[in-house]
């Protein structure tokens, strides 16, 4: 692809703050917007829905301080002790909920990843299969809107793993991330390719533009990466998440290429997923044999954490897929508010 002018997603502009969706997220937005003290009742965390709109938005806002921040918010708030204390409490609530739901999940890498290496016979519940065969252009636009919260910073959350790995695992991990970041070419950065996809679909590719449209099930999938990435103690889970994404990406991306083509979404929309079919097929082998293999050679005690990272990824992706399919089955938007 020839170089062209930078898209809005390629600029350093920080997104705007959105309004809160409950007591916790309103406390965060009020503190960030005013520059003042964070005010909330600690008991609100204990009673909050760990997968709900309020807690997930509050977490997302606090995590975003470690990425691009927000327009008009002092960069120093990234390390505000009160904000970090609230984040820690919400993270514990979120992690506890996932551990409870996954109490019977596989504890070994082999058991966690073996089902992912075989294409299911029954794809009736697959969101990418639905988009491939029956999806309409408005649904592809909604899907891209939802995924933009991650894909416009694709690979950034996983990069936290690099200083926490050594030897073979680090070398292989960096090789994959190098591809994700365009192999030295700005116009090939995957986040940039997704911005081009959004432009083809008539969407605004500005970073964070659709945060207010994103429901809790989507925010949870993005928050999971930041949660794993920002804690050294969860480095095994981050590698499990990374591996799960790379292993499951090629077949889903292949179906989405066909969906984009069938609906006439545009060349850039097709190209984003075509790039992932090719690249992630190679990455799958590297991540399983060298990233996971290298990590567990160095730190065999992390195997259960790697398996948990994979299981948590699948849990939240399944919740998101059900949310989207249920909304579409009722002829409704999967977003918090419809696109123009």
Show the beta-strand stretches assigned E in the chain.
none
The contacts of residue 285 (CB under 8 Å, 6+ apart) are: none
Residue 235 lies in a domain: yes
pLDDT (0 to 100) of residue 49? 98
Distances (CA, A) of 193 to 39, 128, 204, 252: 40, 19, 14, 17
* Structural domain contains residue 3: no
Domain co-membership, 120 together with 84: no
pLDDT of residue 168: 97
Element (H, E) at 56: helix 53-64
How do the pLDDT tens digits run along the chain, 340 residues long? 333 444 444 445 899 999 999 999 999 999 999 999 999 999 999 999 999 999 999 999 999 999 999 999 999 999 999 999 999 999 999 999 999 999 999 999 999 999 998 876 456 679 999 999 999 999 999 999 999 999 999 999 999 999 999 999 999 999 999 999 999 999 999 999 999 999 999 999 999 999 999 999 999 999 999 999 999 999 999 999 999 999 999 899 999 999 999 999 999 999 999 998 877 677 888 999 999 999 999 999 999 999 999 999 999 999 999 999 999 999 999 999 999 8
| Tally of domains within the chain | 2
Do 324 and 202 lie in one domain? The reply is yes
- Stated as kind and residue range, the H or E segment containing 82 is helix 81-101
Q: 120 and 84, same structural domain?
A: no
**Is the domain of 315 the same as that of 172?**
yes
Residues 147 and 244 reside in one and the same domain: yes
CATH of the domain at 176: 1.20.910.10
Q: Which of 101, 134, 155 finishes a domain?
A: 101
User: Quick one: pLDDT at residue 122?
Assistant: 57
Same domain? For 94 and 213 the reply is no
**Residue 158 covered by a domain:** yes
In this structure, are 47 and 164 located in the same domain?
no
Residue 2 resides in a domain: no
> Would residue 174 count as lying in a domain?
yes
Same domain (yes/no): 21, 162? no
Tell me, yes or no, whether 77 and 130 share the same domain: no
The b-or-e profile of 84-98 (16+ CB within 10 A means b, else e) is: eebbebbbebbbebb
The two tokens of residue 246 are 């790379």
Do 158 and 64 reside in the same domain of the chain? no
Residue 223 is part of which domain span?
A: 109-329
Residue 175 and residue 297 in one domain: yes
Token pair for 139: 């649904």
Comparing CA positions, the residue from 202, 173, 122, 184 lying closest to residue 288 is 173
Q: Is 157 in the same domain as 273?
A: yes
In a domain, 325, yes or no: yes
pLDDT at 326: 97
Are 228 and 238 spatial neighbours (Cβ–Cβ below 8 Å)?
yes
Helices (H) and strands (E) in the chain, counts: 14, 0
pTM for this one? Answer: 0.94
Domain boundary among 61, 77, 101: 101
CB neighbourhood size of 114 (10 A): 11
Within a domain: residue 188?
Answer: yes
Q: Is residue 340 part of a domain?
A: no
Alpha carbons 80 and 24: distance in angstroms, whole number: 16
């Amino acid at each position: 692809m020839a170089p062209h002018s930078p898209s809005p997603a390629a600029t350093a502009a920080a997104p705007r703050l959105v309004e809160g969706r409950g007591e916790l997220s309103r406390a965060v937005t009020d503190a960030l917007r005013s520059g003042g003290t964070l005010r909330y009742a600690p008991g609100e965390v204990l009673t909050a829905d760990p997968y709900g709109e309020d807690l997930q938005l509050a977490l997302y806002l606090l995590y975003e301080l470690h990425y691009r921040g927000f327009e008009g918010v002092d960069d120093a708030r990234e390390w505000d002790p009160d904000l970090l204390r609230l984040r820690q409490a919400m993270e514990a609530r979120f992690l506890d909920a996932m551990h409870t739901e996954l109490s019977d999940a596989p504890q070994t890498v082999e058991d966690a990843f073996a089902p992912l290496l075989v294409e299911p016979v029954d794809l009736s519940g697959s969101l990418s299969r639905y988009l491939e065969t029956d999806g309409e252009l408005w649904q592809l636009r909604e899907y891209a809107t939802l995924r933009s919260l991650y894909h416009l910073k694709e690979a950034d959350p996983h990069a936290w793993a690099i200083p926490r790995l050594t030897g073979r695992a680090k070398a292989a991990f960096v090789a994959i991330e190098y591809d994700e970041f365009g192999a030295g070419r700005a116009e090939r950065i995957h986040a940039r390719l997704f911005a081009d996809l959004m432009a083809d679909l008539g969407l605004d590719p500005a970073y964070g533009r659709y945060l207010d449209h994103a429901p809790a099930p989507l925010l949870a999938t993005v928050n999971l990466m930041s949660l794993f990435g920002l804690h050294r103690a969860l480095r095994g889970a981050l590698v499990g998440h990374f591996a799960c994404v790379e292993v499951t990406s090629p077949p889903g991306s292949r179906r989405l290429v066909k969906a984009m083509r069938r609906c006439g979404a545009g060349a850039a929309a097709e190209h984003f997923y075509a790039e992932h079919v090719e690249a992630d097929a190679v990455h799958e082998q590297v991540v399983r044999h060298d990233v996971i293999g290298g990590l567990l050679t160095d730190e065999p005690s992390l195997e259960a954490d790697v398996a948990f990272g994979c299981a948590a990824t699948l849990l939240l992706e399944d919740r998101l897929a059900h949310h989207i399919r249920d909304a579409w089955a009722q002829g409704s938007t999967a977003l918090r508010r419809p696109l123009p």
